[in-house]
Amino acid sequence: MSGSGEVVGAILILIGAIFSLISAIGNVRLPDVYTRSHAASKSSTLGVLCALVGTLLYFLISDGFFSIRLILGIFFVFLTAPVAAHVICRAAYRHQVPLTEQSVQDELKDYYMENENLEQEDKAYLIEKEIELQVTEQV
């Protein structure tokens, strides 16, 4: 058993832990659902992937044991985390969760107003919000 496996594994797991910490800080600091989901999905996925790759390499180098389950886990996390973030954001948008006030552009809104079968009151709410925004801009 050589020490190199431990060094490689430790470095990768440390990088993964740092990325997870950055993701947690982003979750606290960022203002609305969409930016938070951006922080939570991307950097925590990378953090988990680094930790899993570190574990895989540690067992591969020091024990000579190649774990198929870790490969499967890496692939699975890589595939599911962005889709989960997408579904959460989509649900938030469809329930008219507002964007943060600093945001300058909402490109989805026009498409959404035209192509979705909205309830009448939801549409009225969206239009009302738009008028409100324009008024605040003029002021």
Q: Using CB under 8 A, list all residues that contact another protein.
A: 72, 75-76, 79-80, 83, 86-87, 90, 117
Give 90 or 129: the residue with its C-beta nearer to another protein.
90
Task: Identify whether the C-beta of residue 26 lies closer than 8 Å to the C-beta of residue 40.
Answer: yes
**Helix count and strand count (H, E) for the chain:** 5, 0
Least distance in Å: CB of 93 to another protein? 12
Distance CA 92, CA 24 (A): 20
Least distance from another protein to the Cβ atom of residue 95, Å: 13
Shortest reach from residue 87's CB to another protein, in Å? 6
- Residue 66: φ, ψ to 5°: -100, 110
Q: Which is nearer to another protein, 78 or 109 (CB)?
A: 78
